[in-house]
């Protein structure tokens, strides 16, 4: 075994949290080494949609004509990430959001100052701003709506351009990266974490960090054993990950006495097409409507998968289908069609009269311009007329020619629970004491989330608290 | 500090799991001491409904005319305690159930061989056998139905008579009990758990166990901090407990490297009256039906609270109300009444026409004797006729003049997650290795449950795996 590699701050995992931790630590004067298991940096962040949840009055928001405030952002996220979102982390996150925007831009991240103005998983455009449910009920009762999804100037998946910028910024800050290097164990001396043992091209290598180790190893959706023990709702579901989110950092930290928090929490994505759904209805296997179709697609997904009898259907009429531009249909075709709703309902295996009763109630509301059931924005209300079509959401879709990652039932997700940390990334023991020398951020930790999720809050939480962990590890914020 | 108290097996907590662990250890020849924080044994078990889930062909089942098998019991529990119930523990539990029945009876527990044949939380009779959803859809598609809820010969809460019998059996077996004694810390020497430190009437006392320590300290529903970190769904909800389920045993074990499992899992009880609901409809705040009203009340509760927009209503007509005998109404009165369903729906704040559409669909099905929506047993199907009444389930009830423990929204619960153990109660580390000398059972552990729950499976799991842990700690099963 070669002699140990020495540095000031060792970062384990080069996704968005690892990148920002490394940059901040390096800019605070620390010698920083980042270990990455894969052959190149990026992690699950680089494969993601690339939205970062930012607000409180960013230049992009202002350029698009929206006023926002940290208080409105906090009120929305408290509701949307709840119940029981983390109040202290959220407060930091919202109060520091404009500064975080500026920091990202200063480090090469770009956002085009234009709005994509319809519900979607990912715009098929290069617009830099998008709604993530802020303008939908019940959130419109909670805070003045402003769009806060910030994303890079490319169609569909924008995670790659985000990570390209952060990887370049890390290199520019003098961060050293060791790829193909898998940390296997934390090294503890006299109760202080002083480094890690790792495997690199078949060799055992020890890394020593004089100031601190930052775990940014991602969640555990790729570890079926951990899912079974802590987040069984994701067992057998599709994985939103790079395939390496196996909880290795969480496991290493547990071995040295770290505590975890809200390990059951998870994101759920159903492969339904918001552009179609918003123009019609989303119904459960009994033909019942259960959500306003104009809210953040992850909320529709979570409500369906956690609570409603499957299968799930998007029901539209011909006008609604034709209204959606080809490039925003993502290849989705109706799986069933009929002139008559009773016939369509029967084809979908629903109880007699169920679907027609649901559509009749919807149409009555649409005619008077008020959704009395779920308060969908009147902008999207229009009575449906024959011929009707239904789309089985489990049929899936492939935006931008990429696999959605969903399982056979159209469901995919990732984990939100993890190590219990302070807002500065200090990893806590079960008794609530920081473990000296050990920090963590990103999906290896429990972040701002309660039982809810909104796109952009994972990259947002990862980059925001990654920075704080990096600074804390470098000793800059003490 | 006085000298340590010495024994072979030390049991911490005198609920049902502690009682059976102590009895088995004592009968295996060990000197056994049980510590109990309260001034008398019993714990939350003594305050419970007292059902034990037993089957596979018990004498009580046979006397009531039911054939059952371990395979049918396993199939039902796998479905009802899932998704993702613990397959290995369940297999032991079902295969050993008749033997467990015999053991309980041999230790003074009594069951009257008669069936209470209607959905209820707790019979107002002394019947010893009750249904817990086995004869309701979808479980009727999964296994031949047999009732498996076994309970003592008293109306309503039967936990006290169960615990009285087990406490007497423990005393008869030579078990020594120290009440008013709160364990505070595990004593570990050379990696082996050898005892506990405890507080007793203001003194620090050390207990030494030469063979093993068994933690049977209960769950953590009374610990808001732990709920926030692991089971936020129960935050602010009513507590089904004796007030001492603060997770102390889980916390002590975590401090010595124990792993936990499925900490989010929980039981949910809504204070609705099954006897009324089964004769009518349970609907959500939008007037939508979402479950067959004849299933186990805990399933109705869980479905409602976890998934449906509140408030929740039981809707009946006058005939249904009058049909329920006074003593089974538990003091419940309609909170709203009307001659017309549109009027009633409006009074309940539902969308126009929602309730009348739901009842119309229900009545159509009732007339032809088939619930095409949720497959309620035709026995309970009858078209509802004016005048109609609605009962706000949050109004609560007080069976047998006891507080239901529910919070203001009519919801109460307890935790099902806890220490990760083998079927013999060995407590595992995060790496999956047993911690020498440490055992656990009951609600301080993660038992047979996935994300579902059925009455009787907590006392059932506690007594069954308590016995195994007691035997293992005494060295009898090695």
Q: What is the DSSP string of B206-221?
A: EEEEEEEEEE-----T
With 0-12 / 13-18 / 19 or more C-beta atoms within 10 angstroms meaning exposed / middle / buried, residue B106 is exposed
User: To 5 degrees, how large is the angle CA B96–CA B102–CA B104?
Assistant: 100
Nearest CA in chain A to B357: A357
pLDDT in tens, B24-64: 999 999 999 999 999 999 999 999 999 999 999 999 999 99
Question: Would you state the pLDDT for residue B478?
Answer: 36
pLDDT of residue B477: 43
Helices (H) and strands (E) in chain A, counts: 15, 21
Smallest CA–CA distance, residue B11 to chain A, in Å, is 23
| Residue B466 · residue B26 · CB < 8 Å | no
Q: Is the peptide bond before A258 cis (omega within 30 degrees of 0)?
A: no
Average pLDDT over residues A222-235: 95
How confident is the model over A136-167, as pLDDT tens digits? 999 999 999 999 999 999 999 999 999 999 99
Q: What is the pLDDT of residue A477?
A: 44
The ipTM of this complex is: 0.92
Q: Which residues of chain B have a pLDDT value below 70? A: 1-2, 396-404, 476-478
What are the Cα distances from residue A124, in Å, to A192, A397, A427, B150? 48, 14, 39, 60
For chain A, report the end-to-end CA distance as a whole number of angstroms: 35
pLDDT at A478 (0 to 100): 36
Q: Mind listing the pLDDT tens digit for each residue in A82-132? A: 888 999 999 999 999 999 999 999 999 999 999 999 999 999 999 999 999
Tell me the helix, strand and coil percentages in chain B, rounded to 5. Answer: 35, 20, 45
Å from B288 to nearest chain A CA?
8
Angle at A298 between CA A294 and CA A303, to 5 degrees: 85
**Section A452-464 average pLDDT:** 97
Q: Among A232, A351, A431, whose Cβ lies nearest the Cβ of B255?
A: A431
CA atoms within 13 A on the CB side of B100: 24
- Please answer whether residues B206 and B10 qualify as being in contact, where contact means their C-beta atoms are separated by less than 8 angstroms: no
Q: How many CB pairs under 8 A join A and B?
A: 88
What average pLDDT does chain A have? 95
Q: How many CB atoms lie within 10 A of CB B251?
A: 20
pLDDT single digits (tens) B90-144: 999 999 999 999 999 999 999 999 999 999 999 999 999 999 999 999 999 999 9
Which domains, from first to last, does chain A contain? 1-271+413-478 (3.50.50.60), 272-395 (3.90.700.10)
- Higher-confidence residue of A122 and A407: namely A122
Q: Does B306 touch chain A (CB under 8 A)?
A: yes
Question: At CA B258, angle to CA B254 and CA B263, rounded to 5?
Answer: 75
Q: Is B228 on the interface with A (CB under 8 A)?
A: yes
Q: What is the pTM of this model?
A: 0.94
Q: Please name the helix (run of DSSP H) or strand (run of DSSP E) that holds residue B385, with its range, or none.
A: none
Average pLDDT over residues A371-382: 98
Cα separation, A400 vs A410, in Å, equals 17
Q: Are strands A32-35 and A5-12 parallel, antiparallel or unpaired?
A: parallel
Measured CA to CA in angstroms, residue A452 lies from A78, A131, A249 at distances of: 9, 16, 23
pLDDT at B172: 98
Q: Which two tokens stand for residue B41?
A: 């044994």
With H, G, I as helix, E, B as strand and everything else as coil, classify residue B22: helix
Determine whether A171 is exposed, middle or buried from the number of CB atoms within 10 Å of its CB (0-12, 13-18, 19+).
middle
Q: Is B113 on the interface with A (CB under 8 A)?
A: no
> In this complex, is the C-beta atom of B91 within 8 Å of any C-beta atom belonging to chain A?
no
The DSSP symbol for A359 reads: H
B261 chain-A contacts, CB cut-off 8 A: 229-230
What pLDDT score does B395 carry? 75
Residue among B257, B261, B308 minimizing CB distance to A229: B261
The closest alpha carbon to B414, from B450, B458, B348, belongs to B458
Helices (H), B81-223: 87-95, 97-106, 159-172
User: pLDDT tens, B169-214?
Assistant: 999 999 999 999 999 999 999 999 999 999 998 899 999 999 999 9
pLDDT in tens, A326-358: 888 888 889 999 999 999 999 999 999 999 999
Residues 6+ apart with CB under 8 A from A193: A186, A187, A209, A212, A213, A256, A435, A436, A437, A438
Asked if B259 has any chain A CB less than 8 Å from its own CB, the reply is: yes
Instruction: Give the up-direction half-sphere exposure of residue A91: CA atoms within 13 A in the CB hemisphere.
Output: 4
- Scanning A293-383, the segments in alpha helix (DSSP H) are 297-307, 318-323, 341-347, 354-368
Burial of B365 (0-12, 13-18, 19+ CB in 10 A): buried
CA distance B224 to B221: 7
Q: Which residues of A touch B255 (CB under 8 A)?
A: 430-431
């Amino acid at each position: 075994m070669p002699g140990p590699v020495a540095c000031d701050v060792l970062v384990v995992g080069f996704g968005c949290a690892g990148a920002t931790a490394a940059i901040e630590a390096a800019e605070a004067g620390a010698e920083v080494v980042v270990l990455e298991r894969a052959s190149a940096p990026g992690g699950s962040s680089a494969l993601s949609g690339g939205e970062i949840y930012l607000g409180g009055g960013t230049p992009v928001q202002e350029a698009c004509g929206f006023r926002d405030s940290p208080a409105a952002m906090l009120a929305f996220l408290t509701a949307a990430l709840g119940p029981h979102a983390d109040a202290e982390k959220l407060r930091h996150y919202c109060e520091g959001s404009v500064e975080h925007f500026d920091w990202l831009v200063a480090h090469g991240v770009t956002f085009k100052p234009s709005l994509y103005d319809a519900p979607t998983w990912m715009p098929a455009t290069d617009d830099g701003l998008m709604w993530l449910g802020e303008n939908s009920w019940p959130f419109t009762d909670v805070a003045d709506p402003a769009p806060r999804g910030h994303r890079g100037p490319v169609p569909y998946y924008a995670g790659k351009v985000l990570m390209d910028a952060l990887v370049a910024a890390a290199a520019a800050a003098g961060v050293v990266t060791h790829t193909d290097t898998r940390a296997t164990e934390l090294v503890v001396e006299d109760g202080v974490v002083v480094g890690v043992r790792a495997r690199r091209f078949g060799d055992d290598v020890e890394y020593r960090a004089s100031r601190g180790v930052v775990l940014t190893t991602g969640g555990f959706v790729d570890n079926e054993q951990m899912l079974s023990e802590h987040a069984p709702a994701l067992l057998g579901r599709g994985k939103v990950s790079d395939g390496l989110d196996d909880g290795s950092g969480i496991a290493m930290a547990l071995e040295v006495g770290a505590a975890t928090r809200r390990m059951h929490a998870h994101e759920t994505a159903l492969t339904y097409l918001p552009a179609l759904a918003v123009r019609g209805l989303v119904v459960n296997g009994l033909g019942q409507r259960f959500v306003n179709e104009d809210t953040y697609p992850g909320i529709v997904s979570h409500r369906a998968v956690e609570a409603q009898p499957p299968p799930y259907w998007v029901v539209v009429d011909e006008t609604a289908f034709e209204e959606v531009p080809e490039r925003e249909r993502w290849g989705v075709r109706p799986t069933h069609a009929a002139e008559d709703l009773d016939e369509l309902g029967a084809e979908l295996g629903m109880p007699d009269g169920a679907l027609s009763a649901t559509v009749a109630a919807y149409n009555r509301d649409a005619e008077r311009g008020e959704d009395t059931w779920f308060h969908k924005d009147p902008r999207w209300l229009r009575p449906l007329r024959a011929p009707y079509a239904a789309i089985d959401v489990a049929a899936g879709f492939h935006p931008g020619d990429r696999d959605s990652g969903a399982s056979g039932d159209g469901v995919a997700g990732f984990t939100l629970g993890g190590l219990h940390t302070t807002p500065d990334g200090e990893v806590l023991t079960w008794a609530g004491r920081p473990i000296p020398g050990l920090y963590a951020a990103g999906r290896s930790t429990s972040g701002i989330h309660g039982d809810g999720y909104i796109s952009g809050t994972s990259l947002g939480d990862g980059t925001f608290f990654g920075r704080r962990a990096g600074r804390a590890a470098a000793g800059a914020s003490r």
